[in-house]
A and B are shown apart, each in its own frame.
Chain A
Amino acid sequence: MSTFSFLEATVWHCAGCNQPLQPAKMQVTYLNSAFDVELMACPSCGFTLVPESLAVGKMLEVEQLLEDK
């Protein structure tokens, strides 16, 4: 399965770990489907950022597609 990259430079730091976010590979899931993605996350605690543009854009689009499967 190919990995979709949504990496982008970000101003956000993890407050708890006091660290800048780094690219991280992970699997996101919805309604019995899983996708390998790359997102920015805290290298220590794993807190993962889903930026607004992704949530209301591509992610929403895929959610809607999966809902009609």
Chain B
Amino acid sequence: MDQPQLRSLEARCIQEEQPFCTAACPIHVDVRAFMTALAKGDVREARKILDRTMPFPDILGRICDQPCRPHCKRGEIGDPLAIGRLEQFCVHATQTVVKLPKLPAKGGKVAVLGAGLSGMTAALDLSRKGRPTILITGSPAIGGSLHQMALSILPKEVFVQAEATLTGYGVAIQTCTTLDRQVVASLLDEYDAVYCDWDDFDASLLPFALGTPDPLTLALERDGCFGGGGVGTSQPFSVMHQVENGRRAALSVERHLQQVSLTAQREKEGACTTRMYTVTKDFAPAAEMLPNNAETGYTFDEAQQEACRCIRCECMECVKQCVYLQEYKEYPKTLVRKIYNNQAIVQGTRNANKMITACSLCNQCTVICPHDFPVAEVCRSTRVEMVETGHMPPSPHDFALEDMQFSLGEFCALSRHQPGSDSSTYLFYPGCQLAGSAPESVKQTYGFLTAQLQGGVGLMLGCCGIPAHWAGRTTLFAETMAAFKAEVHRLGQPTVITACSSCLSMFKKFAPELTTTSLWEVLDTLPLPQGHSRPEKPLALHDPCTAREQQDLRASVRSLCTKLGIEVVEHDYSGELADCCGYGGLMQFANKGLGKKAVQHKASRSGLDGLAYCAMCRDNLAAQGRPVAHLLEYLFAASDQDPLARSNPGSSQRHENRARLKSDLLADLWQGDAIARPAHTAIRLQISQELEDLLNSRLILAEDMQKVIHHAEQTGRYLINPANKRRLAKYRPVRVTYWVEYEPTEQGYLVCNGYSHRMQLPEDSK
């Protein structure tokens, strides 16, 4: 990722866009922060926010005509906030808190002709910027048409205060000035820049044709002359509009004096649109709080209650649904910046490694995002970069990649034409996780497909390589995919029927030249198998995240459920909004705790028992103690088992299931010889359920322990506790040293504990 890519990505996340009120405010008062402060009862903090943006808070706070109000999102769920009334409360209750600094004096003499609100604002802003400014009016006092307002609204002292503010910043004020054409002409010659406030200055006194001021810069025909702030313009009179004109003119004057572009980058000045996106449906409607006494306005409590109605507009739509973004307390814009910074580290700790490896790459956030922010793609491509530059930590992905190699290895992988056939029109590809989770379902499905489909149905057991794709191992993934394609080619390019939506998504993307389809779409065209069953209760259907883009597949699943008589209850986060179960992107290996949160989040979408058609979703949900069945278990029912009651097999059993599936199929269907497994696999282990759960969470397989014990018993190298005769042994097959505490029994070995480390001891390298 380079800087321009970072910028363009950041721009797609709108969380930091202005809320609707601030965008609509001509001077962009931070209304959301103002409301937040008032809601907390911190009136002083609220005043600070007004002081920072408003030129004369004691005037503006009393008479703000709240052009933001029609844009307030609260209006969709009740009345828009009474911002004007809250500003009145705030300025009544407080004195000035923040006094903005004055920059050091610079050159350039500026005259402001007319002392209405826009003239006052321009004079104040320019003086703050260090420009010597004179405010000239023919009237006896500053304020222009503000003096037409009732004293009860704008008391005299606010004008005195405003004058003190102006002079405090060094503005020279000249009232009761005789202004005729000659005087004006000489002023124009004398000063480097002039702003005319039409509210308090007669345009006909100018010695040039007025024309139409440029709306962006308020520049008049004559260079260095600007004009605005009038009451007689086509727009309805607005004090906020006057202030905005004064501020806009002050910036134009400043740019004129600096001799830089008057027009560059001024799009966000004045009321503007915003890309902010806020969903209001989750907020309860609430009507406006009306003050008990309309004349004196809000009391403290009333103001606080009204401010509490502010929903603090923000987007966060993706974060609301994603446990990953919640866990790392990021939204996509901040996430991508952290990733960029992480990758830029040459020496030092790359603190974001874990964050980058923990995303489930499920794309739910991208579907939710109004601008399709590609979090998953950013994380995955960063993983590729980490692998290529040698910065990928080994521990997040080692286990899953070894699991993948095991599935692709001689003990599990299989590729055959249908028994008795030498060609295949179809090829059933159950996927590694279904083979690991429910080998009986694979056998039954294959039997059914061979009976129903004509032209030969081959079988391939293996792994599509998605763990390598997720881990950023480009070469390994490409090799796996190439081997798969070569094997399909060898079998005569049959139509690949896969039970796994992850496999299907990989094949569709990386093997588009092959004909691939889902098992569900095929089954939907066939009669129901004999001996199907259905649950007694309605079930919540959990779509897997990898079926997000597979609408036809999802439709077939629902159609099959209907035919089976399963009453499916849809929840809000199914289909293309489906959550990941924690396996996606290898999340559960990179951040175990987060993986658990992900599956709990998925489970929490419905209180009902569940139905899944992804083996990983099913097993992960079952691991959380949720009754959840796999759809194949109703299509091919076993009379002795309730599909909802099947527990999570765990990593070791999954390994064993895959290996046994291959040897069973070879023996039953192809009358082949069983493949001789290594000697250590003959070792019989006894493990309590509690310990098995611990070992599963430590990613220690039964086979790892068999290797340890086999090695110890063969070499006699182990430790012994003389008190109870227990043995403690270790073995390092590749990169991890496994330790097992055990004792020999008549049946085999009783495992008492197991743990591992990656750090190498001197004896490991011998």
On A, residues with C-beta under 8 Å from B are 11-16, 21, 26-31, 39, 45-50, 52, 55-56, 59-60, 62-65, 67-69
Asked if residues B350 and A68 are in contact (CB atoms below 8 Å), the reply is: yes
Within the complex, what minimum Cβ distance (angstroms) separates A10 from chain B? 8
A39: chain B residues at CB < 8 Å are 761
Most buried by A among B727, B739, B757, B763: B757
Asked if residues B739 and A68 are in contact (CB atoms below 8 Å), the reply is: no
B760: chain A residues at CB < 8 Å are 28-30
- State the 8 A-B residue pairs at the shortest beta-carbon distance, nearest first: A67-B393, A12-B719, A15-B720, A55-B757, A30-B759, A52-B755, A11-B721, A55-B755
Question: Complex Cα distance A47/B722, Å?
Answer: 17
Within the complex, what minimum Cβ distance (angstroms) separates B737 from chain A? 7
Contact with A along B727-763 (1 / 0, CB 8 A): 1101000000101000000000000010111111111
Question: Complex Cα distance A59/B757, Å?
Answer: 7
Question: Complex Cα distance A69/B347, Å?
Answer: 7
Contact of A28 among B393, B721, B722, B759 (CB under 8 A): B759
Asked if residues A11 and B757 are in contact (CB atoms below 8 Å), the reply is: no
Question: Complex Cα distance A19/B756, Å?
Answer: 24
Asked if residues A30 and B720 are in contact (CB atoms below 8 Å), the reply is: no
B351: chain A residues at CB < 8 Å are 68
Most buried by A among B730, B737, B761: B761
B716: chain A residues at CB < 8 Å are 15-16
B340 at the interface (CB under 8 A from A): no
A47 and B763 in contact (CB under 8 A), knowing A64-B395, A68-B353, A69-B349? yes
Contact of A67 among B394, B720, B737, B753 (CB under 8 A): B394
On B, residues with C-beta under 8 Å from A are 348-351, 353-354, 393-395, 698, 715-723, 727-728, 730, 737, 739, 753, 755-763, 765
Most buried by B among A15, A56, A69: A15
Cross-chain pair count, CB within 8 angstroms: 88
30 contacts between A and B (CB under 8 A): A11-B723, A12-B721, A13-B720, A15-B718, A15-B719, A15-B720, A16-B716, A27-B762, A30-B760, A31-B394, A45-B717, A46-B763, A47-B717, A47-B719, A48-B762, A48-B763, A49-B719, A50-B739, A50-B757, A50-B761, A52-B753, A60-B757, A63-B757, A63-B758, A67-B353, A67-B394, A68-B349, A68-B350, A68-B354, A69-B350
A28 and B761 in contact (CB under 8 A), knowing A13-B720, A13-B722, A67-B353? yes
The chain B residue with its CB closest to the CB of A20 is B722
A12 and B349 in contact (CB under 8 A), knowing A26-B761, A30-B759, A63-B757? no
A63 and B761 in contact (CB under 8 A), knowing A11-B723, A49-B728, A68-B349? no
B727: chain A residues at CB < 8 Å are 15
Question: Complex Cα distance A62/B718, Å?
Answer: 26
The chain B residue with its CB closest to the CB of A28 is B759
The chain A residue with its CB closest to the CB of B724 is A11
Question: Complex Cα distance A28/B349, Å?
Answer: 21
A13 and B759 in contact (CB under 8 A), knowing A49-B728, A52-B739, A68-B349? no
The chain B residue with its CB closest to the CB of A55 is B757
Question: Complex Cα distance A51/B53, Å?
Answer: 63
Question: Complex Cα distance A13/B726, Å?
Answer: 11
A13: chain B residues at CB < 8 Å are 719-722
Question: Complex Cα distance A57/B756, Å?
Answer: 11
B722: chain A residues at CB < 8 Å are 11, 13
The chain A residue with its CB closest to the CB of B393 is A67
Question: Complex Cα distance A67/B350, Å?
Answer: 9
The chain A residue with its CB closest to the CB of B741 is A52
Question: Complex Cα distance A42/B189, Å?
Answer: 99
The chain A residue with its CB closest to the CB of B392 is A67
B353: chain A residues at CB < 8 Å are 67-68
Question: Complex Cα distance A55/B149, Å?
Answer: 78
Within the complex, what minimum Cβ distance (angstroms) separates A19 from chain B? 10
Contact of B395 among A14, A27, A62, A63 (CB under 8 A): A63
The chain A residue with its CB closest to the CB of B763 is A46
Contact of B349 among A11, A48, A55, A65 (CB under 8 A): A65
Question: Complex Cα distance A35/B560, Å?
Answer: 60
A49: chain B residues at CB < 8 Å are 719, 728
The chain B residue with its CB closest to the CB of A50 is B757
A63: chain B residues at CB < 8 Å are 395, 757-759
